[in-house]
Chain A
Amino acid sequence: MTTARQRQFLFGQIGWTLGGVGILASVESLTLEYAFIVSFVGLVVITALTTPIHTTVEWRTRLRWPLLVGTVVFVALVGLRTFGKFIRSL
């Protein structure tokens, strides 16, 4: 059971992800990597835009774990890509 604010967050996240995947698929560049990056950016943007200014909401503090894991994976992907380009350029 979710509250109105939680539903708002979920609809935002699902809508962003599915919309992004639709756009990626329509330009024929849907890969798991791009899909992850699109949904991770969506999670960060929606979290940043919907966090209240003056108060800390208890359930939002738990969003730090998916954000942390997402950041680690994101940094790993960027690192792998950079490393790959670097090796090829040698």
Chain B
Amino acid sequence: MPRRIVAGGRPHDWFGPRYPARVFGVLGLALVGGGLVISQFDTLLFVWGGTALFVAFLLSFVMTGTTVSSAVATDIYTTMARNVQQPRPATDHEYVPDSGGVTLVAGDREFDPTGEQLLRAHDGLTTAETIGTQLSVLVDVLVNDLELAARATATTDDESATVTVTGSRIGTTELFDHPVASVIGVGLAHGLGVPVTVETSREDGNLVVVANLTTSE
């Protein structure tokens, strides 16, 4: 017997935590309406209503886009990483720049790295002067733009960089082309134009990414 099964899209889903802009919009209209009726507190009600309407505006026109919980993203990434490593597990990662992009060489196979997609909106990453300037941009992107980590610190010398990431939003049980390491590997390879080998490890719950520039001698 055919059955039709639906989840979501019901009237009560129209409000609620998935659509906070609508909640603030209705609250704002109610407060402004209250201000028109109750003239004793009209200024206060107009101000509160205006604030709620402004928040509704910010939520619907500035902070657009949907989010996925970190646990769900972790499960998707972990499964994909395991699948990719199914025939022959590879632990060595080298991000190699070529014309128009960066290729991940792991073991004897080549992949498109995750970082390539994550950094596609950042045009400023293609021309870096030093590893330090590039790394300061990448760490800022990881924490403030992609929001993949709560905190990231980096130390660097001329040919290598160590990035310590606290509170990675994507779980670290699998480390194949981990998004955090991938962003750093792709960003450095892209900006400096040399292949970058990346080693990723877990230390005290933190994710430690060590990137070494492969300078041709």
Interface residue tally of chain B, by bracket? 20 to 34
Which residues of A have CB within 8 Å of B61?
A: 62, 65
Which residues of A have CB within 8 Å of B48?
A: 18, 21
Contact across chains for A54 and B136 when beta carbons are under 8 A apart? yes
Q: Which residues of B contact A (CB under 8 A)?
A: 18, 20, 43-44, 46-48, 50-51, 54-55, 57-59, 61-67, 121-122, 124, 136-137, 139-141, 144-145, 147
Contact across chains for A62 and B67 when beta carbons are under 8 A apart? no
Which residues of A, 7-31, contact B by the 8 Å Cβ criterion?
9-10, 13-14, 17-18, 21, 25, 30-31
Contact across chains for B145 and A57 when beta carbons are under 8 A apart? yes
Show 13 residue pairs from A and B whose CB-CB distance is below 8 angstroms, ordered by the A residue: A2-B20, A4-B147, A5-B144, A9-B63, A18-B48, A21-B48, A32-B47, A35-B50, A36-B50, A52-B145, A55-B137, A55-B145, A58-B145
Contact across chains for B54 and A32 when beta carbons are under 8 A apart? no
Interface residue tally of chain A, by bracket? 20 to 34
